[in-house]
């Protein structure tokens, strides 16, 4: 009997231990950690250069400047089983999540609708008003972050697309370099791509001429949408919806799909099954042309430091018609959690201002640009000495300066949503199933109508 | 008698105490999510916003949704192929391992169980490299065999091959588990039955088909149901190899659920699809249990 009593006591204590352990991990219930220490929790998607920049430069510098502040960084894979977007959405929906984070532009509409984001205080960034803050950046680039005059994000990265081509492959095939001041037509790119397609004696494909930014094992809605929207806009339609109604069974949509069909099946300049490694195939001479942003160069040089490449403007449907000079843009932005207390939101904004620079400051933007290829489209940065020096050193960057003068550049409204998925299916039907563009456009229209 | 009742009550009390963590865990992480999914399936709920009650609208929409139909089709294709492959292979391996005279049986068992204890994501990356056209392991094997025209096969990039690529990965990863279960079943069958049949003039094949297989039926039902339900719910191998593509050829139900919830944020619709998924698995389990009669031996 005595034994059992001791045993009961022991069991009771085990339960107590479990309960107290559980309580200790609940914020605000457990014992206090270091007195008065403020922790700023930051989430980013996994990209080693970004994590290195944060942990080796910006976090230690901010902590040194703000004694008592500790910045905790968590890097989450962008894609995969636990993807960054899904984890962020789940955390914020539950009223949790980090104090600040870096996310893709496609999330902003929903996140602002859901009131997940705290509006920025322009004074923390050295501006007198939101409008002054917006005007500090190139026209149209801040659109994605702004709602009802308030600013809900600020660039970690901004980019648009230009055409990279492998100079060695061009020279070997006797093809002259592409003009740097005038875009080539899609037809020209297709013809060059077909010439650069190569098979070995057994008929196995060993080299392709052109690579779209989507392919079988890299089903990125962002890349599907970027490639398609540029084409559709050049053919004369802005979006898959016109006046709020689905508009997929239209001439511009069919012609954009036809371009994909021709590249894949008619000329075979593009082979969706060929690419093995996005950043290795181009520098190693397996793919001759790709559309990419400024970040492409640091990444390809890791695979072949001696790669020789040229950069041409984004192709258009008719180089003689300026109305077809249309291109897309995308950005990643830093945002602040609206669920956090005001003082925490303020600290988060101070950290963002510290990393990105306040009004007129350009050295932060120069650091991001030089070290990660991340562009911040602030007017002050584009007019800075640091940017001019970088342009002199890497003349290919001129394409991104000229793009703003040459093209009408806009964000892509549908990629990670249901219409974006329907668009992916329409493109897949043409590329993989060899379905006629007319039929695929008709099915896309039906699917968009069903979603209404 | 009083003492016995007292002891029984005490035992019951301690028994309940000891199982309470599992019961709490089961209720919190298994029963509660199902009940919540049932509730949300009756709402129009965009993740991050409050839901509104809409009755069975999500279910009626699902029944006419071609994407959902295609997902069920993809799920059933991959699951049936994978389950058939796994069951046949694991039964053959179990029979081989059940041979007392087999040399290196322990090593074989270790090798067979190895894929089971590895991680889906890590092995998924390895299988990506195996399936790479031109430069992958399979391409190398084809080259070695002089089948150079097969080197460029887009295992994960063509609609017709992608489901097979996933099936191969699943069979490789799960066969070991079911081999061990079949082996346990085979070991529990008294040898006298087979020996008596052999003495009476039956050959090994006849003894296996007429004695061993019927006696293995409870294990076979267990493996069939477990393999079906587990394979239907697999997300990682598809996500790792094809992401649901190309052209939705491998967009199985778990991928449909994942995209609907996390990408499109349609919590109510995804919950309804999840409930139908549960019903499908439950229905198969019940049908299998009923149609395959149990056999018992003394």
CATH code (residue B201): 1.10.3720.10
CB contact A11 to B (< 8 Å): yes
Q: Are residues A260 and A274 in the same domain?
A: yes
Whether B193 is in a domain gets the answer: yes
Q: What's the full length of chain A, in residues?
A: 452
Per-residue confidence (pLDDT) for residue A277, from 0 to 100: 73
The answer to whether ipTM exceeds 0.90 is: no
CB contact A64 to B (< 8 Å): no
- Give me the residues paired with residue A218 across strands: A215
Contact between chains at B121 and A81 (C-beta distance less than 8 A): yes
Return residues 232-251 of A near B (CB < 8 Å): none
Q: How far is B119 from chain A (nearest CA, A)?
A: 12
User: Which of A401, A427, A442 marks a domain boundary?
Assistant: A401
Whether B192 contacts B107, CB under 8 Å:
no
Contact between chains at A416 and B263 (C-beta distance less than 8 A): yes
C-alpha closest to that of A235 among A220, A247, A221, A222: A247
Q: Are residues A324 and A198 in the same domain?
A: yes
CB contact A175 to B (< 8 Å): no
Q: Are residues A304 and A374 in the same domain?
A: no
The SS3 of residue B47 is: coil
Q: How far is B176 from chain A (nearest CA, A)?
A: 24
CB contact A10 to B (< 8 Å): no
C-alpha closest to that of A248 among A17, A451, A40, A391: A451
Per-residue confidence (pLDDT) for residue A35, from 0 to 100: 52
Residue A307 sits at the vertex; the CA angle it makes with A303 and A308, to the nearest 5 degrees, is 160
Q: What range does the domain containing B166 cover?
A: 66-291
**What CA–CA distance (Å, rounded) separates B245 from B165?**
12
* Chain B residue whose CA is closest to A12: B17
Whether B296 is in a domain gets the answer: no
Whether A345 contacts A336, CB under 8 Å:
yes
Q: With beta carbons under 8 A apart, name residues in chain B contacting A273.
A: 133, 152, 154, 157-158
Q: Are residues A373 and A321 in the same domain?
A: no
Whether A365 contacts A381, CB under 8 Å:
yes
Domain count along chain A: 2
C-alpha closest to that of A124 among A97, A104, A88, A100: A100
- Hey, which bits of A205-247 come out as E strands? 205-211, 241-242, 245-246
**What CA–CA distance (Å, rounded) separates B169 from B237?**
7
Whether A25 is in a domain gets the answer: no
Whether B244 is in a domain gets the answer: yes
Q: Which residue has the tokens 């279960």?
A: B181
Contact between chains at B48 and A110 (C-beta distance less than 8 A): yes
CB contact B44 to A (< 8 Å): no
Per-residue confidence (pLDDT) for residue A218, from 0 to 100: 67
Structure token digits, residue B240: 């790792």
C-alpha closest to that of A221 among A35, A419, A435: A419
C-alpha distance across the termini of chain A, in Å = 72
Q: Are residues A50 and A151 in the same domain?
A: yes
Contact between chains at B47 and A205 (C-beta distance less than 8 A): no
Whether A266 is in a domain gets the answer: yes
Whether B8 is in a domain gets the answer: no
CB atoms within 10 A of CB A128: 10
Q: How far is B59 from chain A (nearest CA, A)?
A: 15
Contact between chains at A90 and B262 (C-beta distance less than 8 A): yes
The SS3 of residue A283 is: coil
Mean per-residue pLDDT pooled into runs of 10, chain A (452 residues): 46 49 45 68 90 95 96 84 78 90 91 93 97 94 94 94 96 96 96 94 84 73 92 97 96 98 96 77 94 86 92 97 95 96 96 96 93 89 91 89 89 90 93 94 95 84
DSSP per residue over B197-258, as a string?
HHHTT--HHHHIIIIIHHHTHHHHHHHHHHHHHHHHT--HHHHHHTTT-STTTT--HHHHHH
Q: Are residues A224 and A341 in the same domain?
A: no
Whether A14 is in a domain gets the answer: no
pLDDT in tens, chain B (298 residues): 555 667 778 888 888 999 999 999 999 999 999 999 999 999 999 887 888 999 999 999 999 999 999 999 999 999 999 999 999 999 999 999 998 888 888 899 999 999 999 999 889 989 988 998 877 899 889 988 988 778 878 888 888 899 999 999 999 999 999 999 999 999 999 988 888 999 998 898 999 999 999 999 889 999 999 999 999 999 999 988 888 888 889 999 999 999 899 888 899 999 999 999 999 999 998 888 777 655 444 4
Whether B78 contacts B141, CB under 8 Å:
no
Alpha-carbon distances of B267 from B58, B154, B251, rounded to whole Å: 10, 35, 19
Sign (positive/negative) of CA torsion A29, A34, A36, A41? negative
Do you find a cis peptide bond into A313, omega within 30 degrees of 0?
Answer: no
Q: How far is B144 from chain A (nearest CA, A)?
A: 14
Whether A18 is in a domain gets the answer: no
Whether A262 contacts A190, CB under 8 Å:
yes
CB contact B160 to A (< 8 Å): no
Q: With beta carbons under 8 A apart, name residues in chain B contacting A4.
A: 10
Q: How far is B116 from chain A (nearest CA, A)?
A: 19
**What CA–CA distance (Å, rounded) separates B46 from B51?**
7
Between A437-451 and A418-431, two packed helices, what is the crossing angle to 10 degrees?
Answer: 160
Q: Are residues A241 and A307 in the same domain?
A: yes
Whether A16 is in a domain gets the answer: no
- Mutation test of the interface with chain B: which of A217, A424, A426, choosing the one with the most B Cβ atoms within 10 A? A217
* Chain A residue whose CA is closest to B150: A204
Q: With beta carbons under 8 A apart, name residues in chain A contacting B148.
A: 202, 204
Whether B54 is in a domain gets the answer: no
Q: Are residues A290 and A385 in the same domain?
A: no
**DSSP secondary structure code for residue B46 in this structure:** B
Whether A275 contacts A361, CB under 8 Å:
no
C-alpha closest to that of A307 among A199, A165, A208, A161: A165
Q: How far is A309 from chain B (nearest CA, A)?
A: 25
CB contact A338 to B (< 8 Å): no
C-alpha distance across the termini of chain B, in Å = 34
Whether A129 contacts A122, CB under 8 Å:
yes
**What CA–CA distance (Å, rounded) separates A240 from A140?**
20
**What CA–CA distance (Å, rounded) separates A100 from A102?**
7
Whether A9 is in a domain gets the answer: no
Q: What range does the domain containing A91 cover?
A: 38-158+330-401
Alpha-carbon distances of A385 from A159, A366, A382, rounded to whole Å: 20, 10, 9
Sequence-distant (≥ 6) Cβ neighbours of residue B19 within 8 angstroms:
none
Whether B20 is in a domain gets the answer: no
Whether A418 is in a domain gets the answer: yes
Per-residue confidence (pLDDT) for residue A1, from 0 to 100: 41
Contact between chains at B48 and A93 (C-beta distance less than 8 A): yes
Strand duo A326-336 + A408-411: pairing: parallel
3-state helix, strand, coil in chain A (%, to 5): 45, 20, 35
Q: Are residues A397 and A417 in the same domain?
A: no
Whether A89 contacts A43, CB under 8 Å:
no
Q: With beta carbons under 8 A apart, name residues in chain A contacting B158.
A: 216, 273, 432
Whether A135 contacts A149, CB under 8 Å:
no
Largest Cα–Cα separation, chain B: 83
Domain count along chain B: 1
**What CA–CA distance (Å, rounded) separates A120 from A125?**
9
- Identity of the residue in A204, A221, A274 whose CB atom sits nearest the CB atom of B151: A204
Q: With beta carbons under 8 A apart, name residues in chain B contacting A425.
A: 247-248
CATH code assigned at A294 = 3.40.190.10
Whether A59 contacts A104, CB under 8 Å:
no
Per-residue confidence (pLDDT) for residue A80, from 0 to 100: 57
Whether B176 is in a domain gets the answer: yes
CB atoms within 10 A of CB A366: 19
Structure token digits, residue B46: 């965009």
**DSSP secondary structure code for residue A181 in this structure:** S
**What CA–CA distance (Å, rounded) separates A214 from A315?**
17
Largest Cα–Cα separation, chain A: 99
Whether A46 contacts A78, CB under 8 Å:
yes
What are phi and psi for residue B76, nearest 5 degrees? Answer: -65, -40
**What CA–CA distance (Å, rounded) separates A240 from A253?**
8
Structure token digits, residue B212: 């061993």
Q: With beta carbons under 8 A apart, name residues in chain A contacting B17.
A: 11
DSSP per residue over B150-199, as a string?
GTT--TTTSTTTHHHHHHHHHHHHHHHHHHHHHHHHHHTS-HHHHHHHHH
Per-residue confidence (pLDDT) for residue A154, from 0 to 100: 97
CB contact A173 to B (< 8 Å): no
Q: Are residues A258 and A121 in the same domain?
A: no
Whether A244 is in a domain gets the answer: yes
Q: Are residues A198 and A268 in the same domain?
A: yes
What are phi and psi for residue A185, nearest 5 degrees? Answer: -85, 155
Whether B55 is in a domain gets the answer: no
Q: With beta carbons under 8 A apart, name residues in chain A contacting B121.
A: 80-81
**What CA–CA distance (Å, rounded) separates B260 from B128?**
25
Per-residue confidence (pLDDT) for residue B87, from 0 to 100: 96
The SS3 of residue A305 is: coil
Structure token digits, residue B249: 């050829």
Q: Are residues A179 and A211 in the same domain?
A: yes
Q: How far is A355 from chain B (nearest CA, A)?
A: 29
CB contact A257 to B (< 8 Å): no
Q: How far is B21 from chain A (nearest CA, A)?
A: 10
Global pTM value: 0.80
- Mutation test of the interface with chain B: which of A83, A216, A448, choosing the one with the most B Cβ atoms within 10 A? A216
């Amino acid at each position: 009997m005595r034994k059992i009593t001791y045993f009961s006591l022991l069991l009771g204590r085990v339960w107590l231990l479990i309960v107290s352990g559980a309580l200790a991990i609940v914020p605000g219930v457990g014992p206090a950690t270091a007195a008065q220490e403020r922790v700023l929790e930051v989430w980013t998607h996994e990209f080693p250069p970004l994590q290195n920049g944060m942990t080796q430069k910006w976090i230690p510098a901010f902590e040194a400047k703000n004694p008592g502040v500790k910045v905790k960084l968590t890097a989450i894979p962008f894609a995969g089983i636990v993807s960054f977007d899904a984890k962020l959405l789940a955390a914020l929906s539950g009223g949790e999540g980090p104090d600040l984070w870096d996310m893709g532009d496609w999330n902003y509409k929903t996140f602002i609708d859901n009131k997940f984001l705290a509006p920025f205080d322009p004074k923390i960034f050295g501006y007198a008003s939101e409008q002054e803050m917006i005007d500090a950046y190139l026209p149209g680039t801040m659109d994605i972050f702004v709602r009802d005059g308030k600013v809900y994000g600020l660039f970690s990265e901004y980019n648009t697309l230009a055409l990279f081509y492998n100079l060695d492959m061009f020279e070997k095939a006797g093809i002259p370099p592409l003009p740097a001041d005038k875009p080539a037509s899609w037809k020209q790119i297709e013809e060059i791509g077909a010439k650069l397609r190569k098979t070995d004696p057994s008929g196995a494909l060993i080299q392709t001429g052109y690579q779209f930014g989507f392919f079988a094992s890299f089903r990125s809605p962002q890349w599907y949408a970027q490639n398609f929207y540029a084409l559709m806009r050049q053919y004369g339609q802005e979006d898959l919806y016109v006046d709020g109604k689905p508009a997929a069974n239209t001439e511009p949509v069919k012609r954009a799909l036809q371009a994909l069909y021709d590249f894949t099946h008619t000329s075979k300049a593009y082979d969706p099954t060929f690419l093995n490694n996005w950043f290795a195939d181009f520098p190693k001479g397996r793919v001759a042309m790709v559309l990419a942003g400024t970040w492409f160069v640091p990444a390809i040089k890791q695979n072949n430091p001696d790669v020789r490449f040229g950069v041409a403007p984004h192709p258009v449907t008719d180089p003689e018609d300026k109305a077809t000079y249309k291109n897309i843009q995308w950005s990643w932005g830093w945002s602040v959690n609206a669920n956090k207390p005001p003082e925490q939101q303020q600290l988060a904004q101070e950290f963002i201002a510290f990393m990105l620079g306040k009004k007129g400051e350009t050295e932060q933007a120069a650091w991001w640009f030089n070290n990660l290829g991340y562009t911040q489209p602030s007017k002050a940065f584009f007019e800075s000495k640091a940017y001019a020096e970088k342009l002199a050193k890497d003349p290919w960057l001129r394409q991104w300066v000229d793009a703003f003068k040459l093209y009408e550049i806009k964000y892509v409204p549908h990629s990670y949503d249901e219409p974006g998925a329907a668009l992916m299916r329409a493109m897949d039907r043409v590329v993989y199933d060899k379905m006629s563009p007319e039929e695929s456009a008709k099915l896309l229209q039906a699917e968009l109508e069903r979603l209404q | 008698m009083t003492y016995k009742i007292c002891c029984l009550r005490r035992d019951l009390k301690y028994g309940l105490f000891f199982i309470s963590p599992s019961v709490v865990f089961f209720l919190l992480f298994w029963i509660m999510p199902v009940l919540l999914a049932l509730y949300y399936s009756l709402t129009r709920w965009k993740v991050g916003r409050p839901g509104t009650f809409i009755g069975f609208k999500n279910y009626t929409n699902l029944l006419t949704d071609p994407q959902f139909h295609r997902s069920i089709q993809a799920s059933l294709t991959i699951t049936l192929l994978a389950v058939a492959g796994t069951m046949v292979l694991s039964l053959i391996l179990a029979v081989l391992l059940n041979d007392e005279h087999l040399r290196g049986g322990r090593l074989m068992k270790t090798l067979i169980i190895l894929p089971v204890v590895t991680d889906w994501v890590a092995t998924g990356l390895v299988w990506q490299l195996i399936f790479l056209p031109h430069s992958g392991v399979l391409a190398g094997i084809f080259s070695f065999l002089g089948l150079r025209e097969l080197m460029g096969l887009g295992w994960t990039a063509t609609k017709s091959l992608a489901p097979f690529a996933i099936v191969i990965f699943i069979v490789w990863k799960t066969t070991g588990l079911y081999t061990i279960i079949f082996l346990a079943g085979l070991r529990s069958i008294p040898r006298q039955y087979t020996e008596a049949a052999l003495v009476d003039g039956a050959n090994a094949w006849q003894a296996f088909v007429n004695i061993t297989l019927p006696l293995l039926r409870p294990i076979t039902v267990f493996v069939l149901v477990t393999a079906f339900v587990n394979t239907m719910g697999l997300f990682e191998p598809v996500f790792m190899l094809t992401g649901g593509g190309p052209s939705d050829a491998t967009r199985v139900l778990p991928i449909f659920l994942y995209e609907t919830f996390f990408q499109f944020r349609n919590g109510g619709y995804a919950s309804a699809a999840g409930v139908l998924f549960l019903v499908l698995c439950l229905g198969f389990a019940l049908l299998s249990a009923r149609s395959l009669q149990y056999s018992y031996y003394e």
